Chain A
Amino acid sequence: MLLIPCPFCGARSESEFIYGGPVRAARPDPNVVSDADWVDYLTVVPNPLGPVQEHWWHARGCGEWLTIWRDTRTHDIVEAPDEIE
């Protein structure tokens, strides 16, 4: 079980949260991007052996939405990878 850092409530048990899906790139204007980039935006998310960025909703707590980086191999909540920042 994860201990997820809520900005208001501090580290709280995962069972208080609802998973909100991976963080995706901003929605491009479909009239401007290529077909391939549009399909890529709609269907492909990063699937690394390592950190992924994801949304969580503190539904059974304060109601805040937050994002974390989590390692898909260990479940460790980690710092954002350098190249992202």
Chain B
Amino acid sequence: MQKYSLFSLARNALSGHRNWPLAWRSPPLKDRYDVVVIGAGGHGLATAYYLAKEFGVINIAVLERGWLGGGNIARNTVTIRSNYMRDASIPFYVKSVAMYEGLTRELNFNMMHSKRTMVDVVQTWPKLRELRRRQLVMDIYGSTYEQITTAELRRRIPALTGGGPEARLPVICGMVHTDAGVNRHDAVAWGYARAADAMGVEIHQQTAVHSLLRGAQGAIEGVATSRGTVRANKVVVAVSGHTTTLTETAGLRLPLRTMNLTAFVSEPVQPLIDVIVNCPDSGFYFSQSDKGEMVIGGAPDMGQSFRRDIKQHVFEDTVSAMLSLFPRFKKLKLLRQWGGHLDIAHDASPIMDQTEVPGLFVTAGWWGGYKAIPAGGLTLAHLVAKGAPHPLMAAFTLDRFRHLDFVMEAGTTTAR
């Protein structure tokens, strides 16, 4: 792997940028690997990277139906935070946020990380009570949450001119999560891919997995792909919304529902907002990208959906909620809108485990899984390599459903 540096930039500038090496190879597909990872998204690539780096497992194929980093890692709103509710969740996300902050150096790839704080605009007393409960638990694990007054909130976010005393939902106060940040989603996918490839991991794009193959004893044997059968005794499913579509081919039922979550961006405007603004009572959140676009996310379409577009009334509800608090945004022109489908578990916490099919691992239920990519990849790689869960993810296995010992995060995500 050629190290990216000021010198490599200067050297390649002198040759007109014609001699940059490819960031990753496109090797021929073999018929057997030690581990097959399905899905070259954030979690799949991070799992492959940490398997190679931390556990010395090199003979890995990452199989991707479309193109690398073209799924939900390209369709989210790059919010990295650790303000969760449960004792099991918070340390996991604290670890992930910390790993993200060191990722540029770790992968020698500029993540454009911007630790810019998230501010919740609180408009109802039940939400304030819920956030205070989170604050008490988060404090145990070193994640920050701090209440600020409405006056301070409006000073920090001058564009917040709605939500006055006469509004249907007046602003009560703000909650500040200083650990939160944003970064560049493409860099995460490409950085992990390039670093994993450099250690010998093979990434195969345009290789759709149609079904999982089980041997005579029931254990996983490999996968049937659009390019033929690929065998492996360990298969990792990291496909977001289509987890159940794949696991059902192995006769496995999981407590996951697939839903559609949408986002859109405005035209670029001058610097206006320097934090991530989250308005949980109104049902939207946004941040301003480095290019100046407002990156806006809304509430999900509540029913199950495998679509990647956006429903008009979900879009309209989100925009009208935003205008109630930010009336100046009425002049903003929206440039792009899109949706992603992702699966959510019964208790809204992720599932990372070896399933009842020996050798078949899933990482799923990632509602807001972007922030969890580094810790999710590291801990799943631990499980795949060692056969025992990493302490940070032991609570997220399927056992919690067998014992009705939920890690209930329903309500702390946009899923509600």
Contact = CB atoms under 8 A, between A and B. Distances in A.
**A associates with B:** yes
A39 B306 contact: no
A14 B314 CA distance: 10
B304 A42 contact: no
B313 A1 contact: yes
Given A14-B313, A49-B245, A52-B304, A40 B258 contact: no
Contacts of A35: 402
Contacts of B313: 1, 13-15
B303 A70 contact: yes
Nearest to B316: A15
Interface in A36-75: 36, 39-40, 42-45, 47, 49, 52, 54, 70, 72-75
B307 interface: yes
Interface residues of B, number: 22
A56 B401 CA distance: 27
A7 B13 CA distance: 69
B346 interface: yes
Interface in A13-37: 13-15, 19, 22, 35-36
Contact of A39 (B256, B311, B404): B404
Interface residues of A, number: 23
Contacts of A44: 253-255, 346
Interface in B291-343: 302-307, 311-313, 343
A42 B401 CA distance: 9
Given A14-B313, A22-B257, A42-B404, A72 B245 contact: no
B278 interface: no
B304 A43 contact: no
Nearest to A54: B303
Given A1-B313, A39-B404, A47-B257, A75 B346 contact: no
Contacts of A75: 305, 307, 311
Contacts of A43: 255, 346, 401
B302 to A, nearest CB: 4
Nearest to B303: A19
Nearest to A38: B404
Interface string B220-260: 00000000000000000000000011000000011111100
A73 B311 CA distance: 13
Contacts of A13: 313
Given A1-B311, A22-B257, A47-B258, A42 B305 contact: no
Given A40-B253, A54-B304, 7 more contacts: A19-B303, A22-B257, A39-B404, A44-B255, A47-B258, A47-B343, A72-B307
